[in-house]
Structure 1
Amino acid sequence: MNLLRCHLWSLIFNKYIHQNIVCLRTIRILGIETSCDDTGAAVIDDQRNILGESIRNQLQYHQKFGGIVPNIAKQHHYENLVPVVAEAMNNIEWDSISAIATSIRPGLIISLWQGVNFTRQLLFKYNKPFIPIHHMEAHALTVRLTHDVDFPYMVLLASGGHCILAIVEDVDKYYRLGESNDISPGETLDKVAREMNLSEHPSVKDLVGGAAIEYLALQGDSSIFNLITSQYSAKSKDCSFTFGGMLSAAKRLITKHQIKYDSSMLNDQILKDLCACIQTSVVRHIETRIHRAILYCDYRENLTWRKTLVLSGGVASNLFLRKRLKDLCDYYSMKLVCPPPKYCTDNGVMIAWNGVERFRRNLGVISAVDEIIPEARSPLGENISEHVRNVDIHVPFDWEKVKKNKKA
């Protein structure tokens, strides 16, 4: 009995000492990101200080193919991981690192494996705990590094690979209001840009597809073409997204009117008009889904859910999207928060910060990674989209008209 009592006191004492060491010692997390074509690394502490960061992108290697080529991405991750981590760790002692966090899902599986295998070497060499990171969770939490945002909040994760509208209730608690049923908004914009041969346009040849469309759309007239169809209008009573029909309609217009850039084109106004049209269509579709989510939160009488809307992901850098959603948020007395554009796209900083959030709560911290298998697909949190659909909330397609009528 005495021996058992001593053992129990020993366990309690060790746990108490460990908790106090964690509280007293500054938490420093090394984050590694290789979910697609960007190789990123960063070191962040629990005071939100970015102690080191580095990133390499592969745009120049993939752009001529019109998309990410897996084997090319794998090779460049292999070449970039050592220098990127070394740059992020510059003048930082490995003894001061509390744990290593690495994205393991979702993403391009061949790229994820590069990050996981490299992390295994570091864990073996430096004997550190490991924090597996959900890539979309990292995007959703980035705003808590860059701004003072408390739980809960609504988040739109829009990128070249994803489009998710969710409620972030805690570090590891999410409710999906809706997500893309086919392709992402970023993929839609990139494919339209490819169809129009914008990579050869002198004004935007160094920009990715979505950014090229945004730039040309500034001088375009979105009313010249019409891409609105019932498939992705406000008639669908949920918060899911579908951009496939929009992309097909854009391709038909490009073929019908021969809207492709070439060096002999004397007037590129038609290009700018179609860019404005496709951008407006994508943004309006996103806007109606967020509008419905706001009304759904009111229906649930959970007003704390809709105090703040956060935008993250590559498409969230689009200034036209931000402007439209800012107007919507102002109308409903919500706060719109966007991380800086450099942290909206894939990077090591968001992975490291997600690691900090998890480490200080001891969520998912493990001591070995031998059985960790990267996943190409992995849902974020609990899916409540069916409940949203069953509530049957009507959303006016052009809410700005409603706003003007109300003022009148």
Structure 2
Amino acid sequence: MTIGANYSSGAHPATGGDLVVLGLETSCDETAASVVRLTPGGTATVLSSVVHSQIDDHAAFGGVVPEIAARSHVEMIAGVSERAMAEAGLGYGELDGVAATAGPGLVGGVMVGLSFGKAAALARGLPFVGVNHLEGHAVSARLGAPVAYPFLLLLVSGGHCQLLEVRGIGDMSRLGTTIDDAAGEAFDKIAKAMGLGYPGGPALEKLAASGDGSRFDLPRALLGRKDCDFSFSGLKTAASRLAQACETDQDRADLADAVQSAIARQLAERSERAMKDYAEKHEHRLLVVAGGVAANKTVRSTLEAVAARQSFSFLAPPMAYCTDNAAMIALAGAERLQLGLTSDIDTAARPRWPLDEARALADPVHPAGRKGAKA
């Protein structure tokens, strides 16, 4: 059994022409399928993008239940894929390849999409690519417009928080990571402590719009550190305790605003340090923010301001491609196919799979980005 995707060189399925790829994403609580066309020049066109959300299935539990998620993926994957093909107006015979998330994520869910993708590729004699979910997020900004490599990436979501130098597909190095909780995890757990339900991040953002966070003094982590790492556990603990003392709706709104501002501030502070280091090596200065937290407007505006201060251009994916989706998986797969890279059909699902695996194996402090978990 092959661990990970174990990419190997193969025949280019459409040398010199466009590539049309079906992508599948089942790493958490969305069952998604998408068809993307990629030109030799790097222009990506999303022909379809279908996402079946499981929010209602998990809301009563206050978070994602892995077994429920996996069962839902089994029930939905075939129909979601057929709908994506129908909306693209294509038959399977018009595809140049199939790509599916192979990890990291909830392994039961990953196995569903990975198995379906392999079966679709085998049945039609198509190349198959097992995609790192994080690599999908890394290239997601290229779904909106052609983006030249290299660029500096802030990858920030519920399961991971990293700063990466992205030199190309499969060529990324980590500049900083969270040493405890991810930013999106902090958003969700603080929202849960405030009784805001699931999913917590968007609910907290909505409540913060009517708040004044200046009345709360929340901790600022890792001040004075010369690296680009993050820490959100102290903020999460302090805000959760304050939530217990909130008596009115305005108290909760003010705390929500304070939390949102504190998370955005730390993301900006650490990103600014990375920008200074990055600028010493590269003339092309672009900061890309991707992942579910990139949909937060306060986070976006704060990062955009600090990028401008450092003379960096700023780019985030279209809102539809910030959270988990299959278009980013299809694009990552297509970029690998352009390089003639395919995956073995016995590629295994991985609950953990860091983008910079060599460094992760050599790093005893935070080997996989966040407690050795998704990143």
Range class of TM-score, shorter chain: 0.7 to 0.9
1:333 aligns with 2:311: yes
Residue matched to 2:369: none
Residue matched to 2:281: 302
Residue matched to 1:38: 30
Q: In 2, distance between residues paired with 1:46 and 1:123?
A: 18
Residue matched to 1:375: 350
Q: Secondary structure at the match of 1:175?
A: strand
Residue matched to 2:186: 188
Q: Give the conservation status (yes or no) of the 8 Å contact 2:219–2:234.
A: no
CA deviations 1:307-355 (Å, max 9, x no partner) are: 1000110001111111111111111111000111110111010000111
Q: Secondary structure at the match of 1:357?
A: helix
Q: Give the conservation status (yes or no) of the 8 Å contact 1:165–1:290.
A: yes
1:222 aligns with 2:213: yes
Instruction: Report the AA paired with residue 303 of structure 1.
Output: H
Residue matched to 1:70: 66
Residue matched to 1:3: none
RMSD of aligned C-alpha atoms? Answer: 2.0
Q: Which runs of 5+ in 1 are unaligned?
A: 1-14, 200-206, 261-266, 388-408
CA deviations 1:72-117 (Å, max 9, x no partner) are: 0001101110110000111312111111100101111111011112
Residue matched to 1:166: 164
Q: In 2, distance between residues paired with 1:145 and 1:57?
A: 21
* Aligned pairs (5 A) from 1:74-89: 74-89=70-85
- Report the alpha carbon displacement of residue 224 of structure 1 after superposing the two structures with TM: 0.9
Task: Tell me which protein shows more helix as a share of its residues.
Answer: 1
Q: Which stretch shows the higher mean deviation, 72-81 or 44-53?
A: 44-53
1:61 aligns with 2:86: no
* Aligned pairs (5 A) from 1:262-341: 267-298=248-279, 301-304=280-283, 307-341=285-319
Q: Secondary structure at the match of 1:89?
A: helix
Instruction: Report the AA paired with residue 44 of structure 1.
Output: V
CA deviations 1:141-160 (Å, max 9, x no partner) are: 11122122111100111111
CA deviations 1:192-242 (Å, max 9, x no partner) are: 11111113xxxxxxx72111111111111111111124xx14222211111
Q: Give the conservation status (yes or no) of the 8 Å contact 2:14–2:96.
A: no
Q: Give the conservation status (yes or no) of the 8 Å contact 2:272–2:310.
A: no
Q: In 1, distance between residues paired with 2:16 and 2:163?
A: 37
Instruction: Report the AA paired with residue 66 of structure 1.
Output: G
Q: In 1, distance between residues paired with 2:71 and 2:192?
A: 24
Larger Rg: 1
- Report the alpha carbon displacement of residue 71 of structure 1 after superposing the two structures with TM: 0.6
- Report the alpha carbon displacement of residue 252 of structure 1 after superposing the two structures with TM: 1.7
Q: Secondary structure at the match of 2:162?
A: strand
Q: In 2, distance between residues paired with 1:62 and 1:22?
A: 42
1:348 aligns with 2:339: no
What TM-score results when the alignment is normalised by the length of structure 2? 0.88
Q: In 1, distance between residues paired with 2:17 and 2:271?
A: 41
- Report the alpha carbon displacement of residue 289 of structure 1 after superposing the two structures with TM: 0.6
Q: Give the conservation status (yes or no) of the 8 Å contact 1:100–1:123.
A: yes
Count of residue pairs the alignment pairs up: 346
Instruction: Report the AA paired with residue 317 of structure 2.
Output: P
Q: Which runs of 5+ in 2 are unaligned?
A: 1-8, 364-375
- Report the alpha carbon displacement of residue 24 of structure 1 after superposing the two structures with TM: 4.7
Q: Give the conservation status (yes or no) of the 8 Å contact 2:222–2:230.
A: no
What TM-score results when the alignment is normalised by the length of structure 1? 0.81
Q: In 2, distance between residues paired with 1:313 and 1:341?
A: 10
Residue matched to 1:251: 240
